[in-house]
Structure 1
């Protein structure tokens, strides 16, 4: 027996900060919504990649960690009881403005009057190093691609691999609590801000970070997923063995719009062009906000995504209630409305 489709006014694809704020705006306009995300938790890249890294350009917060921002956004939508379909991605979209049917990889069917795509850069995952036996070490956590809880790495011997901001930032952050941090890169040149590079050199001089250059990963040694050492080598074949408990490879993310890329809407280089005033895509009734949305003058900032969420939801009100004018009110006078 097939389960009945879920009914909602607005289906929001994604569950990052922009998507969460869109759900709040829906609640404020008495529109029902639900969130769908391929990750098994809300927060998108903020939760997966930056949970304990500070963000400095959120209004009214001189600094706020990514995880704390997500917690606050979740608290903001709590009164509206927004359903979350996590660990599944939207596979299919059919219908038209005012009557869409979405299907997910977990077999869910959703009927919605409008759709918001807030998928960031799309489904994302780490670029994995091509090492034999890697899966076994990933399953035990000996190889990880994200740092969700900094304290989990206390007193560990860590190899941080990569030459960009993520590798440099986490090498610095973990050097104060780890037993030893190796910073591995294929050349003695890193891509970072001058201040960050100066801090790296200071930690190297203090013996808290050991630079291993110019080397690259060549193998893993251990038993039953328990890492004992990381093999590295130069392009000339010179090899070293680094005693380590944990490998953190930061080689960037592979991103993919997935099925969205073949939906009947315009895309360009993994982004979705929208009308700036409404954030509506070329497919009427489908809107895009956040990093995935593209228009002249676009800034890829969370705060701009928040603004786009509000604009899109106000435009969607006319889709859901075409015969009911929307009289805009400030939250100070509107208060917190109940769920529609």
Structure 2
């Protein structure tokens, strides 16, 4: 028999916005269960860039992804959220008093309201079409994220891609590794300041630039990388000795079972009312990157604001007939239990 969890709000997604939604709901005395497919809380911050600095969190001029998650978890801790990790919400059904959700781990959750904070759904890296790629992935020679910067100290690292992740890690690793940057053109999609810093680093000889090249092949034995083969569109090849290939070609996003729940879907995002973050299904709200509405900005700080709006909109469903008197945390403090 599967476990049955009774709670006020089920939050789907344990990334930054989902964790802050625990706090906002807790401040309104609403209990939360949080489900995530990953084995740890933190979403993309924990899985993809735990050591990457984030610069647009208010009051934090610079904070690493893992540290942000640590502090959000500490902020949510007084409200004792129930975390169900390493499992996916497969089904959502309305019942007489709220919703029943089923997870891939055979758990049943009954709640009065749902907050979707699932980023852009299940995500995975866009992999380059290279022969024997799984062999090199298995040994860690080819990676799509950096979790521990020190693992690359003294290594020969080829970084492929033209966006923020590729450029930021080239700048971060150039001081401890021999970095070769591969891109198909000389213009990068990264933040202009980061692109400028990369160009200056290349001019000083701190980063080798392989432009205009694309990944063409991998050389090595038993999954141990020895070189990356590059090629131009004209077929000109170049061999770069390497211990690691970091490929940053973005993420492939899939909504998964969420797409089957009867929600208003728009380009793999869920449409919501910007005033309440409610979807077309009353009681189901969406916040963070998965939510879309006119003027939406994909910023963590906007997701935090949406968490607060969703929590206040949900309160009447959890406590029908009870007036909600808005109070600032500075005056009411943080309630417990």
| 1:175-227, Cα deviation, whole Å (9 max, x unpaired) | 0111x111111233333344333322222232221111222112212222221
Residue aligned with 2:8, SS: strand
- Partners of 2:316 and 2:322 in 1: CA distance: 7
| 1:268-312, Cα deviation, whole Å (9 max, x unpaired) | 111212122221110011011112222223222211211111111
Q: Is the 8 A contact 1:160 1:181 kept in 2?
A: yes
How far has the Cα of 1:50 moved from its partner? 3.0
Instruction: Give the aligned partner of residue 183 of structure 1.
Output: 181
Instruction: Give the aligned partner of residue 50 of structure 2.
Output: 51
Instruction: Give the aligned partner of residue 118 of structure 1.
Output: 117
Instruction: Give the aligned partner of residue 224 of structure 1.
Output: 222
How far has the Cα of 1:334 moved from its partner? 2.0
Instruction: Give the aligned partner of residue 64 of structure 1.
Output: 63
- Partners of 1:217 and 1:301 in 2: CA distance: 31
- Partners of 1:160 and 1:56 in 2: CA distance: 23
Stretches (4+) displaced over 6 A: none
Instruction: Give the aligned partner of residue 138 of structure 2.
Output: 139
Instruction: Give the aligned partner of residue 255 of structure 1.
Output: 253
Map of 1:265-304 to 2, 5 A cutoff? 265-304=263-302
- Partners of 2:295 and 2:134 in 1: CA distance: 42
- RMSD over equivalenced CA pairs, Å: 1.6
- Partners of 2:302 and 2:250 in 1: CA distance: 24
Instruction: Give the aligned partner of residue 31 of structure 2.
Output: 32
CA gap 1:296/1:238 in 2 versus in 1, 3 angstroms: closer
How far has the Cα of 1:238 moved from its partner? 2.2
- Partners of 2:192 and 2:319 in 1: CA distance: 53
- Alignment of 1:161 onto 2:152: no
- Partners of 1:312 and 1:216 in 2: CA distance: 44
How far has the Cα of 1:21 moved from its partner? 0.4
Counterpart of 2:198 (choices 191, 197, 200) is: 200
Instruction: Give the aligned partner of residue 318 of structure 1.
Output: 316
Counterpart of 2:304 (choices 303, 306, 318) is: 306
